[in-house]
Amino acid sequence: MLKKVENFIKEQGMLSPFDTVIIGVSGGADSICLLTCLHRLREQYHLNLYAVHVNHMLRGMEADEDEAFVRTMCNSLSIPLHCVREDVKRIAELSGTTIEEAGRNLRYLSFEQECERVKAHKIAVAHNRNDNAETVLFHLFRGTGLTGMTGIPKKRGQIIRPLLCVTRGEIETFLSHEHIFYRIDSTNLSNDYTRNKIRLSILPIATNEINERAIEHITSLSDQLLEVANYLEQVTAREFKRIATVSEAKVALDVREFSTFEDLIKREVLRKAIKSISGLKDIESIHLVDGVNLCKCQVGKEIHLPNHIIVKRGYNTIIVYDSQKYSDRNDMVKNDLLVDIPLTIKKEDSMKKGTVQFVDFLGKRFEIRLFPYENSLIIPKNSYTKWYDYDKIRDAVVLRTRREGDFLMIHPQGKTKSLKSLLVDQKIPREERDKIPLVACDSHVLWAVGVRSSEAYRIDKDTNWVLSVTTDR
């Protein structure tokens, strides 16, 4: 068995010469086997080994005896040991997680902290083939996607799992032949935990009554699915990069390009968008299906997912965002962008040569001038300069963002239209509407920049003074 593990380590590139390795050691058969294997490979790889034991304080004297056993074992092998004692039950209660999850999080945190302390290169943990089969079945029964069926990774970052090539039976046989003792965790013999039910009931039935190579076949399938998942991830990453616009708490997917994808790629691209915002905790396949179906829905339709994630249909996008972090209007309030900015230039100022007011607003620079009108002047026709008859304007002119009741005059005869209706007709996405700078007097919008200018206050033969507003092209 040792040779099998050694070959597996070489094939997977798990160890390099002179690596410093942290070994997670509970005292059970798997971790004692891992400790023994790496100790016997120490000279070959010139390894610097450290062990970490986590006492979850769940089993009273039994847990203390486990800790003492591991300490004795490590001393006999001249491997330094760091022990962590934490009340996992209390941690679970405070964090709102299960005891299993709290224990797992504590173990990996302890491994990582010791890894940082001794500047280790690798963290070795003792998952075996049975653990992998249990994980695949657990994910299958609970409901999972392709990634969940790929099982336990052989390597991930600094973490390595050298025993994934052997079964629990092979491990116990090896320890028996080598006369190496180990501890038995009594909770592993209880059906109180879901994984234990798979370990103690389902897998034995599969191997004893259906096919003795059931675990091998599950492992083989998970390896094949891993290849498929890796290829799918490459395709997904390429398409995501092509159609996604990513900001701190929002991802916008081009809906036209998104709609051309096969449903599988749509779901994976959406999954990647959600993962980039908040991770995938509690995200299920049905959530992805519902999100993909927004392509066929009307603008403004949205679905609410776990962890405050909202997926919404825009005019030209599918938008994924964290509702607790992303809000255009909240951001604008925070940055004082909803405060009216008055255009303060006056006639008396305009008589001074070169007088101009500059205003930076919503990422644009505005240039405001006031000057006497002459018939010889040519009224600009471009989209970035607007002229208005200053004397016809009765209210103060300001720069601001939209408000309820805003309107524009859309016909010289006085016909008006609400700004909201205009933005809807122009298919401006709702999430973009608060970003449009407005030149306004009271509720009358003179210019929705980049959208439309009002027909009011037009320059004519009776105009005396011109208010000119110019922004970036």
Q: Is 252 annotated as a binding residue?
A: no
Query: C-alpha distances in angstroms, 251 versus 90, 247, 293?
Result: 37, 6, 17
Cα 473 from chain centre: 35
Residue 291 labeled ligand binder? no
Task: Judge whether 279 is annotated as a binding position.
Answer: no
Q: What gap in Å lies between CA 73 and CA 31, rounded to an integer?
A: 11
For residue 289, what are the CA distances in angstroms to 143, 236, 293, 294, 320? 14, 16, 6, 9, 14
The DSSP secondary structure of 402-414, one letter per residue, reads: --TT-EEE-STTS
User: Distance (Å, rounded) from C-alpha 344 to C-alpha 236?
Assistant: 52
* CA–CA separation, 246 and 275 (whole Å): 12
Residue 451 in tokens: 């959208």
Which residues does 402 contact at the CB level (< 8 Å), separation at least 6? Answer: 419, 420, 423, 433, 434, 436, 438
Check whether 31 is labelled as a binding-site residue. Answer: yes
CA atoms of 412 and 424, how far apart (whole Å): 22
Residue 350 is assigned to a ligand binding site: no
> The dihedral of CA 147, 165, 82, 122: what is its sign?
negative
H helix or E strand, kind and range, residue 22 = strand 20-24
For 69, left (φ over 0), alpha (ψ -120 to 50), or beta? alpha
Distance CA(210)–CA(206), nearest Å, equals: 5
Confirm whether residue 29 is marked as ligand binding.
Answer: yes
**Residue list, annotated binding site for ATP:** 26-31
**Residue list, annotated binding site:** 26-31
